[in-house]
Chain A
Amino acid sequence: MTEKVKVTGLHKSFGKLDVLCGIDLCVNEGEVVCLIGPSGSGKSTLLRCLNRLEESTAGEIIVDGYRISDKKTNINNVRENIGMVFQQFNLFAHMTVIKNIMYAPVTLKKMSKEEAKTRAMELLQRVGLADKADAYPHQLSGGQKQRVAIARALAMNPDIMLFDEPTSALDPEMVGEVLQVMKELAADGMTMIVVTHEMGFAREVADRVIFMSDGVIVEEGAPEQIFDNPQADRTKEFLKCVL
């Protein structure tokens, strides 16, 4: 198994506030890791450090063989291989659905316009939205937006996908359609790191669940182990509230 992500001694502070206090994390190729924990525990910050949307304060981050924590690393090259899906979807509001998906491959000259279009249609088919190719983001429901956002991230053929609370901004009845797409992605062998409050998803899909609190990893293990037999008091307390 190749290591896709290796984080050692990661610290991150915003001014005086320490958000991450020494994180060690390894993710293997094809593994699906779910990060759970209370708000403010640093899950999203950890995820955002992995593609340098947040600069780490100390420690080492290696993704796909690139040293993200090294300022000399050309981050744009690395990001091409790391797809990211946001809580607020962040579809480009002034572009149609298909243009959203074609944007990165065409801008970065990875594909010709025709290739990118074919690929975009494939991806839309895959997330079940081929009929929405020419719609603008505001014409879609939340669940549809998020599925397009996943397709957009996949357009660059990334090795790793980061999901930052992908269903937290959705109406309850739309959560399922997004999780379904993510499940299929996991089944296809994509390496995924998912910050989520969907415990059902974590239990069913994750290879490993990591419980974070106050900027540290409190406990990690297989889903059954974390959910059915948590060891740390902090984990038990959290799970009692959310399950």
Chain B
Amino acid sequence: MHFDVVLKQAMPMLLEGLKVTIIVSLVSLFFGMLVGLLSCLLGLSKAKVLRAISAVYVWLIRGTPMIVQAFIVYYGVPIIVQQFSPNFIISETLAAVITLSLNAGAYLSEIFRSGIQAVDVGQIEASRSLGISSGRTMMAIVLPQAFKITIPSIVNQFIITVKDTSILSVISLAELCNQAKQYSASTYLFFETYILVGVFYLAVISVLMLLSKFVEKKVSYDRKG
């Protein structure tokens, strides 16, 4: 076992990779939440066209593997855009953020929709019967309750996105797994390196889970005590 060697040699580049993983995940989740909320509201709209846009988006993303989406964004899209603007290039970080955001957005869209639909229709009727518009009812009554219902699923999607960042190593994003691959390929210290990588992921995701517990407690209103 050469954990001491790996810790000494590989730590800087693994930490560098961890930083990329965390930053790309956070940015993607931020945009993913926005895209997801937008898609969810489109999906619940009265206009058929808007509902169709949301449905097709979710269908395309859920129906294809993320590795394919990443290749299309990173390799495919630039070829098309270069027809019009020959100097166009896309960085692997940007491609990664776009891929992950679109991906998380589609799943979050479904999570939000299920949460909104899980809110008792009586809550909406009570608000509407007081003379409150449907938009305000959505903001003040439905979304806060839907959010609470869906926190566990949202956190679950966060965890998946953090781990899925590793898939983006295929477009050479210098995230944690990619860094580990570089190091272990040249030193053959596969076991030690990947154990360490596993510990890193565990640490990040444990923080996420703690955070979710905290938020859940913060917004809980129907538990005794």
Q: Check: A76 CB closer than 8 A to any chain B CB.
A: yes
B221 partner, pick from A53, A103, A138, A152, beta carbons under 8 A: A138
- Whether A90 pairs with B123 at a CB distance below 8 angstroms is yes
User: In the complex, what's the smallest C-beta–C-beta distance from A136 to chain B, in angstroms?
Assistant: 5
Given A94-B219, A136-B222, A149-B126, 15 further pairs, Cβ under 8 A: A76-B132, A76-B133, A78-B131, A79-B131, A82-B129, A88-B122, A90-B126, A92-B127, A94-B221, A103-B132, A104-B131, A104-B132, A107-B136, A107-B140, A152-B126
- Asked if B131 and A80 make an inter-chain contact with CB atoms under 8 angstroms apart, the answer reads yes
Interface size on B, residues (CB 8 A): 22
- Does any Cβ of B come within 8 Å of A93's Cβ? yes
Q: Are A86 and B122 in contact (CB under 8 A)?
A: yes
A-B contact pairs, 23 of them (CB 8 A): A53-B125, A53-B128, A76-B131, A76-B132, A76-B133, A79-B131, A86-B122, A86-B126, A88-B120, A88-B122, A92-B127, A93-B120, A93-B145, A94-B219, A103-B127, A103-B130, A108-B130, A136-B221, A138-B222, A139-B224, A152-B126, A153-B129, A153-B130
- A141-170 at interface with B (beta carbon < 8 Å): 149, 152-153, 156
What number of A residues sit within 8 Å (CB to CB) of B? Answer: 29
Q: Which residues of A contact B144 (CB under 8 A)?
A: 94
Q: Are B221 and A93 in contact (CB under 8 A)?
A: yes
- Chain B residues lying within 8 Å of A51, measured Cβ to Cβ, are 129
Question: Digit string of A68-105 for contact with B (CB within 8 Å is 1, else 0)?
Answer: 00000000111110111010101111110000000110
A interface residues, Cβ below 8 angstroms from B: 51, 53, 76-80, 82-84, 86, 88, 90-95, 103-104, 107-108, 136, 138-139, 149, 152-153, 156
A92 lies within 8 A of B131 (CB): no
Interface of B is mostly: helix
Q: Is the C-beta of B141 less than 8 angstroms from some C-beta in chain A? A: yes
The one of B126, B131, B140 in contact with A156, judged by C-beta atoms closer than 8 angstroms, is B131
Report if A90-B122 is in contact (Cβ < 8 Å); known contacts: A77-B131, A103-B130, A108-B131: yes
Residues on the A chain within 8 Å of B127, using CB:
92, 103
Q: Which of B101-160 contact A (CB under 8 A)?
A: 120, 122-123, 125-133, 136, 140-141, 144-145, 148
Chain B residue numbers with a CB within 8 Å of A80 are 130-131
Determine which of B126, B148, B224 lies in contact with A94 in the assembled complex, contact meaning CB atoms within 8 Å: B148
Task: Using A90-B123, A94-B144, A94-B148 as known contacts, say yes or no to A104 and B222 having CB atoms under 8 A apart.
Answer: no
